[in-house]
Amino acid sequence: MSQPSTQVSLWPEGKRFAFTVFDDTDLGTCEKLRSVYALLDKLGFRTTKSCWGKRGDPKSGKYSGETLDDEQYRNWILDLQSKGFEIGWHGATWHTARRREVAEALDRFAEVFGHDPAAATNHTGARESIYWGGHRLTGWRRTVYNLLTCYRNSGKYGGHIEGNDLFWGDICRQRIKYYRNFTFRDINTLKACPFMPYHDPLRPYVNYWFAASDGHDVQTFNHCIGEAEQDRLEEEGGACLMYTHFAMGFSDPRGVNPRFEKLMRRLAKKNGWFVPVGVLLDHLLDRRGPRQITAAKRSGLETRWLWEKIFVGTT
């Protein structure tokens, strides 16, 4: 059954729904990404492409890629920015960085793009990640998560812990507006997390959290934005903030994945608002005011995420 049209009025310019993407930069290079972004540009999507501030150690981390230290890549990202894409933050580099390195990489970001990043996500290979691993969850849900992951991620991440040598939470609060936590399998992210962007008083170094829909590789992405799902997103007047890695299977030397291209062309023909993550979240914040998550809502969100993680395998 369709939702009433009250949600439709959330969007400006008479748009019926919103759709955007946060592209995690893991494995990202100009070569792998150019054709994907050329397609997005041509179809009128303006999304968020994340980056790393500096080149890391090639011997560390599994998912290295190009960074702001690579001139060709930097110029290509600047060109994307000039076309209206947003550049987001994915940490200093592809492996763990200390507080000073994070601050320097953020300075580099601001120097290149003219401002601090609006939207950011943790990189799992970086131990300075903030409220990550078991710290994403509260109470018994953290215990369940730690048991499920055999305590692999318990105590691993220290970006939010004062006194830890990886602490940079105060810098995060000063310089970054939106941070991602939970992802869900549904295309309508706003249905899964209707109160985003939200502040969580238990996780105060993040100004506002946002959720995302899980499209971490091309198969998951295509599944999430299938024809029926697109139609439902439109009917529900919702918003999809897709989380993905565009360097993971979306293109090869022959071009862009055909199913992805077909689905994006179909979506582009709809009356959607296709703006970057920061613009979409700013709009929700302006429209509805700042929101603080309640204990009951936190519990609902965390339980749903944990359930999907166990039974669907969301990230």
Residues that bind Zn ion (CB under 5 A): 24, 26, 123
Tell me whether residue 24 or residue 186 sits nearer to Zn ion (CB atom): 24
Contacts of 56 (CB under 8 A, 6+ apart): 64, 67, 92, 93, 94, 95, 97
Tell me whether residue 26 or residue 214 sits nearer to Zn ion (CB atom): 26
Q: How far apart are CA 315 and CA 306, in angstroms?
A: 10
CB of 25 to Zn ion, least distance (A): 7
Tell me whether residue 35 or residue 244 sits nearer to Zn ion (CB atom): 244
Tell me whether residue 7 or residue 129 sits nearer to Zn ion (CB atom): 129
Residue with smallest beta-carbon separation from Zn ion? 123
CB of 131 to Zn ion, least distance (A): 16
Q: How far apart are CA 34 and CA 28, in angstroms?
A: 10
Give the distance from CA 222 to its chain's centroid. Answer: 17
CB of 237 to Zn ion, least distance (A): 31
50, 52, 154, 185, 209 from 281: Cα distances, Å: 16, 22, 30, 20, 10
Is the separation of the CB atoms in 248 and 65 below 8 Å? no
Tell me whether residue 123 or residue 309 sits nearer to Zn ion (CB atom): 123
Is the separation of the CB atoms in 185 and 213 below 8 Å? yes
Tell me whether residue 123 or residue 136 sits nearer to Zn ion (CB atom): 123
Is the separation of the CB atoms in 197 and 210 below 8 Å? yes
CB of 4 to Zn ion, least distance (A): 38
CB of 91 to Zn ion, least distance (A): 8
CB of 213 to Zn ion, least distance (A): 17
Q: How far apart are CA 74 and CA 25, in angstroms?
A: 13
